[in-house]
Structures are given as C-alpha cells and as structure tokens.
Amino acid sequence: MDNMGGIGNVPYTMILDLTNNTTDLGGIIFILSHEINHQIYDSTSSAELFKQTVLYRIINEGFATFISYLYWGHKYSIAKNLGYSEKEYKWCLDNQKLIWGIVRPLLSSTKNDDINKLVARNIKLFENAPGAIGYYVGFKICVEYVKRNGKSSWKNIYKEPVDMVLFKVAYLKISGRNINYFTVLLFKSNKYDLDSFTKPC
C-alpha cells in the first residue's frame, strides 16, 4: 500500500493520503499496526550509532512486519504482512543464502542507494524476487531473535541496539567453533554461519 507511511527522515510523522483513489478502509486498518510500530520503534530505539545504516532500516521494517503479524494473530500470511505475493515469499525461502550474500556486505552502509536497494518496492535485485527484499531479511532476523531469546523477547527489540539484535542471532565460525561475534567484526567478516538464517520461518 503506497498511500500511507513515514516521511523520509522526519521523526514521529506518518501520512495518510486520502486523495489516493486506491485508499480503502480495510487496507488502512491492515497497515496501521505496521506504521504505528515504526513510530514507537523510532522513538524508543537506542541505536543512535546505527540509525542511518542499512541494518537499522531493515530491522525497523522487519520488526514492524513482525509486530503486524503478531497483532493480527496470524490471520494474514507472512507474505501478506511483508507486502509480497505467496510466490515471492516462497522465492525468499528458496533463496535465503543468495539474499544474505547480497545483504551482508551492505549492513553498515549509510548510502541511500544501498538502503533503497533493499526497502524500495520498485527495486527487484533478482528475477522473480520481490521488491523491498530487506523487509524479509529484517523479519527473519526478528523471528530468529525471538526463537533464541524467548517468546516475549520481541519487547527487547524496542530498546536493543540493532547490532546487538543481530549479535544475538548470528554466529561467527572461528577455528571450527561457533562463537558470538562482536560488533567490531559485524561489518568486516564474511564468515557467517548461515544455518539459522537459512531455515524457513
């Protein structure tokens, strides 16, 4: 739905375009939990150091999607909450290593072009892939965070810096052992253990 959302980098703002002839009450009601979560997350997140990064943006979008999915009590599919068709969502499930290979080097980027590659609906990085593929990556990170840290741990994402959210999900393989990586390594290493990332939601 393109007629409701935040306004660029203007904090605490949301706009609803009621002049758009595609505006329907059902669509507005559906997307409202997603958009309100952006407002809450942006005002409570302690990730100042990372707020301009790809990582922050994809977790912000993924977390809003995750909250929407929880809010609706699984009434709508993950695909619908992501704004994807079922076919596009299946493509993501089937190509997770490919997706992560593209996203991982961009996590620390603050370039608008890199952010847009992953969150713009009109940019498809691969044939048959959905636009806004970063929504899927962020959603997957939030799902894994909750799996590893407990059913109610999603509440911690509001205050947890984004590097720590990822820290609690991913592992680095060093000398044949899995160990949690430190933030300093987050953006420098290619040696991620993708086992947890590449399992279906």
How would DSSP label each residue in 11-42? TT--EE-TTSTT--HHHHHHHHHHHHHHHHHH
Backbone angles phi, psi at 16, to 5 degrees: -125, 120
H runs (alpha helix) in 95-149:
96-103, 112-119, 133-149
Q: How many CB atoms lie within 10 A of CB 180?
A: 11
201 CB-near residues (< 8 Å, 6+ apart):
78, 93, 139, 140, 143
Closest CA to 64 of 152, 168, 141: 141
Predicted confidence (pLDDT) at residue 190 exceeds the cutoff of 90: no
Predicted confidence (pLDDT) at residue 169 exceeds the cutoff of 90: no
DSSP annotation of 110: -
Question: Identity (one letter) of the amino acid at 155?
Answer: K
Predicted confidence (pLDDT) at residue 152 exceeds the cutoff of 80: yes
Across 177-191, average pLDDT: 40
What is the pTM for the complete model shown? 0.79
Across 86-110, average pLDDT: 92
Most confident of the ranges 49-58, 164-173, 187-196: 49-58
Better pLDDT: 166 or 24: 166
Q: What pLDDT does 186 receive? A: 45
126 CB-near residues (< 8 Å, 6+ apart):
91, 95, 98
CA pair distance 61, 42, nearest whole angstrom = 11
Better pLDDT: 139 or 3: 139
Closest CA to 141 of 117, 121, 169, 164: 169
Closest CA to 144 of 199, 68, 81: 199
CA pair distance 193, 80, nearest whole angstrom = 29
CA distances from 41 to 38, 47, 56, 124, 146 (A): 5, 10, 11, 27, 17
> For residue 27, what pLDDT band results from cuts at 50, 70 and 90?
confident
Specify whether the CB–CB gap between 44 and 159 falls below 8 A: yes
Most confident of the ranges 4-8, 23-27, 76-80: 76-80
> For residue 5, what pLDDT band results from cuts at 50, 70 and 90?
low
